[in-house]
Structure 1
Amino acid sequence: MKLCQHPLLLWLISNIYSGHTEEIKPRVTIKPDSPVFRGETVTLRCDICDGVTSWRYNWYKDSSTSVFSEGQEHTFSFVSESDSGKYSCYGTETEGSRRSQRSDEVTLTVSVPRAVLSVSPQKWLTEGDHVTLICEVNGSSTGWTFSWFTVTVSGSRNDYELLSDSSRGAGGKYTVSSATLNHTGVYVCRAEGDKTAVYTTYSNKQPLWVTGVSPPVSLIINPSRTQHFPSVSLSLSCEGQSNSDGWTVRRYTDSGWLEDCSSIRRGSQTGSTCTIRSTSTSDTGVYWCQSESGENYHHVNITVHFGVILESPVNPVTEGDNMTLCCLYPYISPPKLRADFYKDGSLIQNLETTEMIIPTVSKSHEGFYFCKHTERGESPKSWISVRGESRQGSQISVLKILSSVLAACPYLIVTVVLIYKCCRMRGKTPE
């Protein structure tokens, strides 16, 4: 039972107002109260608690003197952003002369439900890694069914293609327990209300980059580094183990756009080589090689930056190898700076030299690196991955050892025979 309909309260109110005409104040409620999304059904209700049930109601919006609607309730069957505003109501007796005050204003805010996509633990993966895409709706945690898409290029337009196993992420999490090269791509999500036909916008784009152990093609960058200065020429070539026919360079920029080399401003594709004649900061993004059948390999994150940059390996570093990092600045000659070097935000070497050498790299050296100069500033961060020695490489090493041993065997046998004969001859020498 509503408070204003309680019998004792109605009797008290009726007696209080029986001897005078003081105006009373209505109360406005909104259902649902919050959050309210575009496309939902929303009801405004005006209640006057005075024991009298016969009232005429007028509704006003944004302090206007014009009547917006009449009736105790006003329902928006399909609410939109234009319905946002401050609402109040006013009542007059149908069989009397009393009038209420205007109620306090209640704010109705209608927003577009937006899906937000994130990735855990990170978007740079190696084959076999675990990764989870997480889709959430701002301002609402329950009551949604999620769909998952990949972004594809169609001419100069980006399209969304529904994943065949989209239902796996119905609960808001799309999990890949063992990543493969086929999981490389740019993902978005969208949600639909479980009880209402309300759709969110497509989420922000979230790429996943999966690196294989021995890709059939490599992206060769000239100059050979991942960070570059503006207004310089940059060459990217796809070179395969046998031939490079049919491979093109494609990129995903920081602005969230997928495009081919031929679509890049100041860019051109000749065979398997992409040339950017004069780089700009808008060329920052992930570049890779793609085959005619849609396979893509060797993703490299390239940054174009004014000021200090870090020179670091383009390819993953093999465990046991040495790794050299340099800090470069374009306005000095030579362009190398004495700088501080950082890994994952922690200082690992101070201003002692123009380069940092890490001998015998291990998996623990994997991470984000950058350099910093007290006056010139700091470079962007670059991810450096470390891979173990391949099984094939280990087999080759074993074969080399065996070959060396077998090659040395004849010499060992001859040496043993000579020593044996020498010992026998000494034994036959007369006293």
Structure 2
Amino acid sequence: MTVTPDSPAFNGETVSMTCEIESYSNWKLRNSLTNDWRNDWPYKWRYEWYKSSIEVSERYTLNGNTLTIEQSKTTDAGQFTCKGHIDGRSVSSQTSSAVYLSMKGLKPKPELTSDPAGAALTGNTVTLTCRMDPSTGWDFYWYKHTNNYETKKTETNSYRVKIDSVSDGGQYWCRAGRGNPVYYTQYSDALWVNVTVSPKAVVTVRPDERVFREETVTLRCDIKWGGDTEWTYRWEIEGTNDQHKNSVSQISTQEWNISSVDHIHSGKYTCTGQKKTQCSQRSDAVTLNVLAEAQAAVRVSPQPWLTEGDSVTLICEVTGSSTGWTFSWFRDDDHLSDSSRGAGGSYTLSPAALQHTGVYTCRAERGRPAYYTNYSNTQPLWITCVSPSVSLVVSPSRSQHFSSDSLSLSCEDQSNSAGWTVRRYTDRNTEDCSKQTGSTCRIVSLSTSDTGVYWCQSESGEKRHPLNITVHDGDVILVSSVDPVIEGDTLTLHCLHRSTNSPILRVDFYKDGSLIQNQTTGEMKITTVSKSHEGFYYCKTERGQSLHSWISVRVSVS
């Protein structure tokens, strides 16, 4: 004898008992498999049912070998047996083994739980579990607060809810059902599924998103979340190198250190956080760009030609990167003291003094261990006396000269003391004038490599009266005063042609790249010069264009 459903049954549930006689069942199975000519068992069975050894009452429904108890009650609990008789013969089966039908008075009520039990995050999944005792033989029905009808039927007691938005949260219920007709349990207590917007991970990178080979890089994944913070982290790299394309790294800590980056580490980095069964939103991508080497560059503002007392700022920058650097400064290859390190890459001299004259370079560093850039380009800075005791006299007296022309430079000391020599700084190095007699330097045939700064230097190393000399291979030069112009004086400019060595009549003059006078009669005059007239000047004719010359204006000294 078999009973459906499995004991215990619940008040109001329909219970079915089936009596199978073993020899009859085996015969039916055998003949169905062998396709025997016989269609039916030659004898008809009649079944008897007993409860506690007493034949069952009329309230039970008997149909062939099945006994049905509709709307079962607690009083139906007991020990049931059955046996069969062959009609027309005194033949009976053995009595079945006894089956005890257990009854429970109240409808069962399932318990609804969720995993995770706390707040659910959007973009994740919540698993609802409807717990029943007994746990087998049930179908499960799921309901949500927004509608009062069956939303889902499952054969297992688990239901996965995809949390796409906050609206997927709210009250959920479940109940179970079994049998035919279906017997339903009570509804579970309502379960609130609380949903909050999933926090978004944020990737930061130190020292910068643009780094250089062999630097140390730290990537950090931050998730701003008010709940527990026991996150594990997952990093994804969309790399430019095949080795790292769409690769995934399982890193359990917030920070990921790359001790010596190379080009293969270039790419887009994203991270997500995971705690238990929930994930954060993926971060926006941070692009790490690994460059070959770091190069510092120095520039000067407003310009490198100064009179003592003026102010000037040297600016050190790292090409392609601006974050996290500290800077060291050097003058004539001597390291300036730590107090001279420019904050943010700026090094200001105010007021500038004669001893500040020199060639400046800089270098930057960042990180721990420190990573150093290459040294910058050289930047000369020249500070002249208001009233120099020693003058550098240039002949011919102009700042621009044609190549192949001759040039003479002499140091003239008002105190008639000897020992001054002409020195120069070119794009190659600092050196003495190649052909020097006493305090005079003569260059028989100029070349463009002679372009540079020339000054007078004493035996003790004092530098006086620096002048900028430019040598041009072209056919046109700008003729202007080699010395600064005194404020209030007249500035005269004209254009000179190589072949005629005489002023050109039709000329355009430019200051700082802008046309200031066109088609003159070969000359331009500014009668009352002021500080606003400082700048880079050049001239342009139909025969060519001159180089640029810086013309400085010095405040008059009484």
TM-score, normalised via structure 2 length: 0.52
* Number of residue pairs the alignment of both structures matches: 341
Question: Distance in 1 between the 2:446 and 2:400 partners?
Answer: 11
Unaligned runs of 5+ in 2: 1-119, 128-159, 161-202, 221-231, 233-237, 270-286
The partner residue of 1:63 within 215, 221, 242 is: 242
Superposition pairs for residues 64-143 of structure 1, below 5 Å?
76-79=258-261, 81=262, 109-143=290-324
User: Could you say which residue in structure 2 is the equivalent of 1:193?
Assistant: 366
Is 1:304 matched with 2:464? no
Deviation at 1:61, TM superposition (A): 9.2
1:40 aligns with 2:219: no
Q: CA shift at 1:274, angstroms? A: 1.9
- Aligned residue in 2 for 1:206: 379
Counterpart AA for 1:236: L
Equivalent of 1:315 in 483, 501, 511 = 483
CA distance in 2, matches of 1:231, 1:372: 22
- For the structure 1 residues 270 and 36, does the alpha-carbon distance in structure 2 shift closer, same or farther, using more than 3 Å as the test? same
Question: Is 1:149 aligned to 2:330, yes or no?
Answer: yes
Deviation at 1:211, TM superposition (A): 1.8
Note if 1:173 corresponds to 2:346. yes
- The structure-2 alpha-carbon separation of the partners of 1:280 and 1:84, relative to structure 1 and needing over 3 Å to count, comes to farther
Task: Report the alpha carbon displacement of residue 239 of structure 1 after superposing the two structures with TM.
Answer: 1.3
Cα distance, 1:285–1:38 mapped onto 2, change above 3 Å: same
- Following superposition, the deviation at residue 64 of structure 1 comes to 6.5
Alpha-carbon shift at residue 244 of structure 1 (Å): 5.7
Contact 2:239 2:266 survives alignment (8 Å): no
Would the aligned equivalents of 1:187 and 1:205 in 2 still touch at CA under 8 Å? yes
Change (3 A) 1:170 1:85: closer
Question: What RMSD in Å do the two structures reach over aligned CA positions?
Answer: 4.2
In percent, how many aligned pairs have the same letter? Answer: 60
Say whether 1:386 aligns with 2:553: yes
- Give the 3 Å change call, closer, same or farther, for CA 227–8 of structure 1 in structure 2: closer
Unpaired runs of 5+ in structure 1?
A: 1-5, 16-28, 46-52, 54-58, 89-105, 152-159, 392-431
Change (3 A) 1:37 1:330: same
Whole-Å separation in 1 of the counterparts to 2:396 and 2:521? 22
Q: For residue 441 of structure 2, what is the aligned residue in structure 1?
A: 274
Offset at residue 313 of structure 1 (A): 0.9
Which structure carries more strand by proportion? 2
* Secondary structure of the structure 1 residue equivalent to 2:376: coil
Q: SS of the counterpart of 2:510? A: strand
Q: Secondary structure at the match of 2:242?
A: coil
Report the Cα distance in structure 1 between the residues aligned to 2:449 and 2:251, rounded to whole angstroms: 57
| 1:135, distance to aligned residue in structure 2 (A) | 2.0
Query: Contact 1:38–1:111 (CA<8 Å) still a contact in 2?
Result: yes
Find 2:492's aligned residue among 291, 299, 324: 324
Label 1:273 to 1:342 Cα distance change in 2 as closer, same or farther (>3 A): same
Q: As a proportion of its length, which structure holds more helix?
A: 1
Correspondence for 1:366? 534
Aligned residues of 2:475 and 2:543 also touching (Cα < 8 A): yes
Structure (1 or 2) with the larger CA radius of gyration: 2
Label 1:172 to 1:322 Cα distance change in 2 as closer, same or farther (>3 A). closer
Aligned AA (1:210): I
Do the aligned residues in 1 keep the contact of 2:210 with 2:288 (CA within 8 Å)? no
Q: 1:30 to 1:228 in 2, by over 3 A?
A: same
Distance 1:165 1:337, change over 3 A: farther
- 1:6-42 deviation digits (Å, cap 9, x = unpaired): 99978699x9xxxxxxxxxxxxx99657222233234
* TM-score computed with the length of structure 1 as normaliser: 0.65
**Corresponding residue to 1:353 among 521, 531, 536:** 521
CA contact (8 A) 1:121 1:132 kept: yes
Deviation at 1:193, TM superposition (A): 1.0
User: Does the 8 Å contact 1:148/1:166 carry over to 2?
Assistant: no
Aligned to 2:116: none
Measured in 2, the distance between the counterparts of 1:35 and 1:366 equals 38
Mapped contact 1:328–1:337 kept (Cα < 8 A): no
What is the Cα deviation at residue 187 of structure 1?
A: 1.0
Residue identity matched to 1:38: R
Q: Distance in 2 between matches of 1:343 and 1:352?
A: 15
Report SS of the residue matched to 2:478. Answer: strand
- Name the SS of the counterpart of 2:323 in structure 1: coil
Q: Secondary structure, in 3 states, of the residue corresponding to 1:109? A: strand
- The DSSP-based 3-state class of the residue aligned with 1:380 is coil
The question of whether the paired residues in 1 share the 8 Å contact of 2:536 and 2:549 is answered with yes
Structure 1 residue matching 2:449: 3-state secondary structure: helix
User: C-alpha distance in 2, partners of 1:261/1:296?
Assistant: 13
Secondary structure at the counterpart of residue 521 of structure 2 = coil
CA shift digits 1:363-400 (9 cap, x unpaired): 44433322221x11221222223334422xxxxxxxxx
2: CA distance, partners of 1:274 / 1:148: 33
One-letter amino acid of the counterpart of residue 310, structure 1? L
Cα contact 1:326–1:354 (8 A) shared by 2? yes
